[in-house]
Structure 1
Amino acid sequence: MFEIQPMNAEAYRQQTRRSTVMIALIFLALAMALSTLAVAVFGEPGGDNLRFNIGGVFAAVLVMVALMRQVFWTRPWMAPAVYSWQLKRSLMSITNVMHHVTTAVEAGDPTAMKLLRFYHLGLSQMHQLDGNSSDHGQLNREMEQHKARMDALGIDTEQTRLDPAWIETVKQASR
């Protein structure tokens, strides 16, 4: 279950820039080291060693994937980037069934209404964190209309947690 956490947008952007630079520098160092090692071990002096250089870069990609999954993902300096990734994954899981959600919302399904409210809140936060204000006006109008409808039906509008079962319920209801 994913939960939307309050987050300072400026601090988020600063921390994600820092983690991105750290990951990029580690990757560059690994790629250079592994390419150099591959050429030294398998290459020919004065020969065409491009394939060994490419092999070293490819090996660096594989090592970085392993490092990201096993080491970096749980580090505090990666927390904002991990949170953002999880938020985007949650929003995408709803986007993938949005046609079911909108149909169920129009029919007055409370689960779909909660799901759409979470989607609005998550999307709003993502726009804020990314500094994307271009679509914010339209989103705010949709959010307010939907919130008013939920209030009128007595449904709690503080939907900061995504229950994956809601997605399955909405999908099943529209079949």
Structure 2
Amino acid sequence: MFEIQPMNADTYRQQTRRSTVIIALIFLALAMLLSSVAVALFGTPGGDNLRFNVGGVFVAVLAMAALMRKVFWRQEWMKPAVYSWQLKRSLMSITNVMHHVTAAVERGDPVAMKLLRFYHLGLNQMHQLDGNSSDHAQLIREMDQHKERMQAQGIETEQIRLDPAWLEAVKQASR
């Protein structure tokens, strides 16, 4: 179950820039090292060693993927990037069934209304974190209208947790 966490946008951007630079520098060093090792072990002096250089870079990509999943993902300096990745995945899981969600909201389905509220809150936070102000006024209008509709039905509006069961319930209800 994913939960929206309060986060300062400026701090978030600073920390994600830092983690991006760290990852890029590690990848560059690893790619150069592995390419050099591949050329030294298998290449020919003065010959065409492009395939060994490319092979070294390819192995560096694989190594970075493993490092990201096994080591970096759990590091404190990666938390903002991991959080945004999880938030975006959560939003995408709702976007993939949005036609079901909107239809269920029109029918007054409380589960769909909670799901749409979470989507609005998550999307609003993602816009704030990324510094994306385009269409923000439209989103706020939709959020306010939906919030009023939820309040009229007595549904809690602070939907900061995404329950995966909601997605299934909305899909099942539209079949």
Q: TM-score, normalised by structure 2?
A: 1.00
Instruction: Say whether residues 1:75 and 2:71 are aligned partners.
Output: no
Aligned amino acid, residue 77 of structure 1: W
Question: Take 1:81 and 1:44, find their aligned partners in 2: how far apart are those partners?
Answer: 42
**Count of equivalent residues:** 175
Q: How far off its partner does 1:135 sit?
A: 1.4
Report the 3-state secondary structure (helix = DSSP H, G, I; strand = E; otherwise coil) of the residue aligned with 1:27: helix
Instruction: Structure 1 unaligned segments of length 5 or more: list them.
Output: none
Counting only pairs closer than 5 Å after superposition, residues 22-37 of structure 1 correspond to structure 2 as 22-37=22-37
Counting only pairs closer than 5 Å after superposition, residues 19-168 of structure 1 correspond to structure 2 as 19-168=19-168
Report the 3-state secondary structure (helix = DSSP H, G, I; strand = E; otherwise coil) of the residue aligned with 2:126: helix
Report the 3-state secondary structure (helix = DSSP H, G, I; strand = E; otherwise coil) of the residue aligned with 1:21: helix
Question: Take 2:39 and 2:55, find their aligned partners in 1: how far apart are those partners?
Answer: 9
Instruction: Say whether residues 1:4 and 2:4 are aligned partners.
Output: yes
Per-residue CA deviations over 1:29-72 (Å, capped at 9, x if unaligned) read 00000000000000001100000000000000000000000000
Q: How far off its partner does 1:107 sit?
A: 0.2
Question: Take 1:11 and 1:51, find their aligned partners in 2: how far apart are those partners?
Answer: 42
Task: Give the aligned CA root-mean-square deviation in angstroms.
Answer: 0.2
Question: Take 2:44 and 2:169, find their aligned partners in 1: how far apart are those partners?
Answer: 62
Q: TM-score, normalised by structure 1?
A: 1.00
Identity value in percent: 82
Question: Take 1:85 and 1:3, find their aligned partners in 2: how far apart are those partners?
Answer: 13
Instruction: Say whether residues 1:13 and 2:13 are aligned partners.
Output: yes
Question: Take 1:73 and 1:135, find their aligned partners in 2: how far apart are those partners?
Answer: 32
Structure 1 stretches of 4+ with a deviation exceeding 2 A read none
Q: How far off its partner does 1:139 sit?
A: 0.2
Q: How far off its partner does 1:4 sit?
A: 0.1
